[in-house]
């Protein structure tokens, strides 16, 4: 299992569209992918779960991937956050 | 055996297996299934998800082609919500472990999800709960087998148990093997009840939660005489009701013998007895009735279930064939009383967001805002009057002031002038009258009476407005009370005002076909009663067995009464005297 801290650096936070992107990307992998914010941990493949985190600008999340393709999954999702979901160019 | 008390909506007794109308209601939180149904319920859920996915795909494509990417993205988000493992897993778990129906499981899961969103303080995320429910509604919509398939699945005479029934559903009940029905909502005078009476379908309404207590296939008895729903009756009860059914049939054949006799009381006072005619439910039996005319032709049905308002020709054909059935007798056509619970399919601005539709834009109010609709109907009526010897009477619904009557009079004169140009003229002068059902019209009737040729008391709505009680709200439906002192005094005042100016008064509401209330109405000196065909002979029989002097005395006493209770005991006394 890989665990990774990620920071929300896009201004709007993890709103509907980024949440959709995260869930979609997570859905491409076989491994279990969880994202936690404080005490709440959700399935990253669930768009509703990701939205429920209501992760705002500046907050820190904990990503954990567990399974065959965990390395690739972790890299792909971390990249999404780093690219600010391609929203702010 | 289990008995639930409701409100009797249409007389008679029906016995048969229950069928449950699939509820159109999204919010079903507590519906259980048998353990053996788990598999099929999960299958149902799966198929609904697939169908919803296909719908969303189609919508996404449509939106991308028309409104562009932004909206299409919303659809793709909805697709993700639909396929979200949280939704799927929780729903299936609820079906499997707690034996909820698929619909209840979906609704509960959505509620749980939504409440998690409610906890979030950011308003942006809170809004997402709407997306979730949007998807949920679509899903539940696809879960319900379509209505056509439901009706087709009924293969033997059955009793329909529904949460609520629209008049448009009611009308097709008989062709779908339904011999009686029960609803959780509704009241004695809801239009569904009135339709049930004209279809001779025993019905009980306002049962609160019958739809949840009856299981598909249970033997049930609908006791439309006493307002009871009996679930899984014991042998004794079943036998007793079968006997009652036979007695009702016998009494009805006895009534046929008075058809050709005049409507006159024992002491020689004549009344006119007409029918509330519905061309859609005209049976062979109804055709045999010897009536004094058509007291009320409701025309709303012409406007329902069609994409645009009915043309002059379409209306004319129906009015013509109807009027011909009454040869020289009066034919009263009421202008369409659209609005409230009768909303046509074609769009009219007035119906948007009406929170209190019974006080909103209905009846003549709607027509005055849409003069072309009224013009078409008036032309169709005038055209009919030019063809037939019947005396055509036009009745205006929901009149609240004399100005409204004058507007209609002007519109009628315009239509008459148009036909005069073509050299056409009504065989008999068309009479214009008002339906008195709004308290303001009743109270200020003396100011209006000079402008109308006749009037009819619409007691159903008049009582509703006088007592300020919504007759389809089961919480207050019991307060709807024809014996309220205000009701009798208002009817009395209307009749007196009309008689001073020589105008006849008819009553065409539910009260006119209430066997117990008839003596009171005669005592108040109403001139005409108009009743559904199935009540015609019963009411005629009642009048023939009454003594007008006695009715008059009772009515005078009732006008002095201070409570419904006193009036009701006078009514009961009158009926006991007759029975003995």
Asked if A16 lies within 8 A of B77 by C-beta distance, the reply is: yes
Residue B236 lies in a domain: yes
Domain count, chain B: 3
CATH classification of the domain holding B217: 3.50.30.10
Residue B174 lies in a domain: yes
Full domain range(s) for residue B393: 293-436
CATH topology of domain A2-86: 3.30.1340
Specify whether B88 is located in the same domain as B223.
Answer: no
Residue found under tokens 């980024």: A18
Reported as type and span, the H/E element at residue A60 is strand A60-66
Label residue B352 by pLDDT band (50, 70, 90).
Answer: low
Domain extents in chain A: 2-86
Whether B423 has its CB under 8 Å from any CB of chain A: the answer is no
pLDDT at B191 over 70: no
Burial B356-380 (b: 16+ CB within 10 A, else e): eebeebbbbbbbbebeebbbbbbbb
For the segment B58-66, the average pLDDT, to the nearest whole number, is 70
Domain boundary among B194, B228, B252: B252
Weakest-pLDDT range from B16-20, B411-415, B473-477, B490-494: B473-477
For B244, residues 6+ apart whose C-beta sits below 8 A from its C-beta are B13, B225
Residue B542 lies in a domain: no
Question: Got the DSSP string for B69-95?
Answer: HHHHHHHHHHHHHHH-HHHHHHHHHHH
Instruction: Record the pTM.
Output: 0.59
Specify whether B377 is located in the same domain as B301.
Answer: yes
Specify whether B337 is located in the same domain as B411.
Answer: yes
HSE at residue A46, side-chain half, CA atoms within 13 A, is 20
Task: Read off the pLDDT of residues B301-315 as tens digits, 9 standing for 90 and up.
Answer: 888 767 788 999 989
Specify whether B65 is located in the same domain as B102.
Answer: yes
Specify whether B40 is located in the same domain as B130.
Answer: yes
Specify whether B80 is located in the same domain as B153.
Answer: no
Residue B61 lies in a domain: yes
Label residue B71 by pLDDT band (50, 70, 90).
Answer: low
Q: ipTM score here? A: 0.83
For the segment A25-49, the average pLDDT, to the nearest whole number, is 91
Domain boundary among B105, B120, B143: B143
Residue B388 lies in a domain: yes
Ranges of beta strands (E only) in B11-78 are: 13-20
CATH classification of the domain holding B381: 3.20.20.60
| DSSP state, residue B339 | B
Residue B571 lies in a domain: no
CATH classification of the domain holding B45: 1.10.274.10
Specify whether B410 is located in the same domain as B323.
Answer: yes
Q: Would you say B129 and B76 are in contact if contact means Cβ atoms under 8 Å apart?
A: no
The tokens describing B229, both together, are 């729903």
Specify whether B154 is located in the same domain as B16.
Answer: yes
Q: What is the pLDDT of residue B580?
A: 41
Task: Read off the pLDDT of residues B316-335 as tens digits, 9 standing for 90 and up.
Answer: 999 999 999 998 999 999 99
Asked if A20 lies within 8 A of B77 by C-beta distance, the reply is: yes
Residue of chain A with shortest Cα separation from B83? A46
The catalytically annotated residue of A2, A12, A15, A47 is A15
Residues of B taking part in catalysis = 191, 508
Specify whether B214 is located in the same domain as B126.
Answer: no
Chain B residues whose CB is inside 8 A of the A56 CB are 122
Mutate to test the interface with A, among B124, B126, B131, B133 (most CBs of A within 10 A): B124
Chain A positions contacting chain B at CB under 8 Å are 13, 15-17, 20, 23-24, 43, 45-49, 51-52, 54, 56
Gap between the Cα atoms of B194 and B511, Å rounded: 12
For the segment B489-518, the average pLDDT, to the nearest whole number, is 94
Q: How many CB atoms lie within 10 A of CB B432?
A: 18
Domain boundary among B436, B461, B481: B436
User: How close is the nearest chain A Cα to the Cα of B41, in Å?
Assistant: 23
For B36, residues 6+ apart whose C-beta sits below 8 A from its C-beta are none
Q: Would you say B270 and B528 are in contact if contact means Cβ atoms under 8 Å apart?
A: no
Q: How many CB atoms lie within 10 A of CB B142?
A: 20
Q: What is the pLDDT of residue B354?
A: 63
Residue B268 lies in a domain: no
Specify whether B9 is located in the same domain as B154.
Answer: yes
Chain A residues whose CB is inside 8 A of the B125 CB are 15, 51-52, 54
User: How close is the nearest chain B Cα to the Cα of A54, in Å?
Assistant: 6
Task: Read off the pLDDT of residues B548-567 as tens digits, 9 standing for 90 and up.
Answer: 999 999 999 999 999 999 99
Specify whether B69 is located in the same domain as B184.
Answer: no
Residue B536 lies in a domain: no
Specify whether B299 is located in the same domain as B418.
Answer: yes
The residue among A59 and B449 whose pLDDT is bigger is B449
Q: What is the pLDDT of residue A89?
A: 45
Q: How many CB atoms lie within 10 A of CB B562?
A: 8
């Amino acid at each position: 299992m890989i665990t990774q801290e990620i920071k929300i650096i896009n201004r709007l936070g993890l709103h509907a569209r980024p949440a959709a992107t995260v869930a979609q990307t997570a859905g491409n992998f076989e491994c279990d992918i969880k994202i936690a914010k404080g005490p709440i941990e959700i399935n990253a493949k669930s768009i509703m779960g990701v939205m429920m985190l209501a992760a705002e600008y500046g907050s820190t999340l904990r990503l954990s991937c567990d399974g065959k393709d965990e390395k690739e999954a972790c890299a792909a999702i971390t990249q999404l956050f780093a690219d600010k979901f391609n929203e702010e160019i | 055996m289990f008995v639930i008390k409701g409100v009797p909506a249409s007389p008679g007794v029906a016995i048969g297996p229950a069928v449950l109308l699939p509820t159109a209601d999204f919010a079903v939180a507590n519906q259980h299934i048998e353990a053996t149904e788990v598999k099929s319920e999960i299958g149902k859920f799966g198929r609904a998800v697939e169908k919803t996915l296909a719908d969303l795909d189609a919508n996404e494509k449509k939106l991308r082609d028309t409104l562009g990417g932004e909206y299409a993205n919303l659809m793709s988000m909805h697709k993700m919500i639909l396929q979200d493992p949280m939704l799927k897993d929780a729903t299936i778990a609820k079906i499997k472990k707690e034996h909820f129906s698929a619909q209840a499981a979906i609704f509960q899961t959505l509620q749980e999800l939504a409440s998690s969103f409610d906890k979030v303080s950011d308003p942006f995320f809170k809004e997402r709960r709407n997306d979730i429910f949007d998807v949920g509604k679509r899903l539940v919509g696809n879960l319900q087998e379509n209505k056509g398939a439901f009706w087709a699945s009924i293969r033997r005479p059955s009793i329909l148990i529904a949460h609520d029934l629209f008049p448009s559903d009611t009308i097709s009940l008989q062709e779908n093997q339904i011999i009686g029905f029960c609803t959780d909502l509704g009241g004695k005078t809801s239009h569904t009840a009135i339709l049930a009476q004209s279809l001779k379908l025993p019905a009980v309404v306002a049962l609160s939660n019958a739809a949840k207590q009856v299981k598909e296939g249970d033997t049930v008895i609908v006791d439309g005489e006493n307002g009871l729903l009996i679930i899984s009756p014991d042998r004794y009860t079943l036998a007793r009701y079968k006997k009652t059914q036979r007695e009702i049939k016998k009494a009805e054949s006895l009534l046929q013998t008075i058809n050709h006799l005049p409507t006159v009381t024992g002491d020689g006072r004549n009344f006119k007895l007409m029918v509330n005619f519905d061309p859609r439910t005209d049976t062979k039996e109804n055709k045999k009735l010897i009536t004094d005319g058509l007291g009320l032709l409701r025309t709303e049905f012409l406007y329902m279930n069609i994409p645009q308002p009915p043309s002059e020709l379409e209306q004319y054909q129906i009015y013509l064939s109807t009027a011909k059935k009454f040869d020289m007798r009066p034919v009263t056509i009421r202008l369409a009383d659209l609005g409230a619970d009768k909303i046509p399919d074609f769009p009219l601005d007035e119906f948007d967001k009406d929170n209190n539709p019974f006080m909103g834009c209905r009846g003549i109010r709607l027509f005055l805002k849409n003069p072309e609709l009224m013009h078409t109907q008036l032309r169709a009526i005038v055209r009919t009057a030019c063809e037939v010897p019947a005396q055509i009477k036009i009745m205006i619904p929901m009149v609240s002031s004399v100005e409204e009557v004058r507007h209609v009079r002007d519109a009628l004169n315009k239509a008459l002038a148009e036909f005069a140009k073509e050299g056409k003229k009504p065989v008999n002068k068309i009479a214009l009258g008002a339906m008195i059902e709004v308290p303001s019209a009743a109270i200020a009737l003396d100011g209006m009476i000079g402008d109308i040729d006749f009037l009819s008391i619409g007691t159903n709505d008049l009582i509703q407005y006088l007592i300020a009680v919504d007759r389809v709200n089961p919480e207050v439906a019991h307060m709807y009370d024809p014996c309220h002192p205000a009701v009798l005094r208002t009817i009395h005042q209307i009749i007196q005002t009309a008689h001073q100016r020589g105008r006849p008064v008819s009553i065409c509401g539910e009260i006119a076909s209430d066997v117990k209330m008839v003596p009171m109405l005669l005592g108040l000196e109403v001139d005409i009663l108009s009743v559904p065909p199935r009540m015609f002979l019963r009411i005629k029989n009642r009048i023939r067995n009454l003594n007008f002097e006695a009715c008059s005395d009772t009515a005078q006493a009732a006008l002095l009464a201070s409570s419904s209770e006193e009036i009701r005991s006078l009514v009961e006394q009158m009926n006991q005297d007759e029975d003995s």
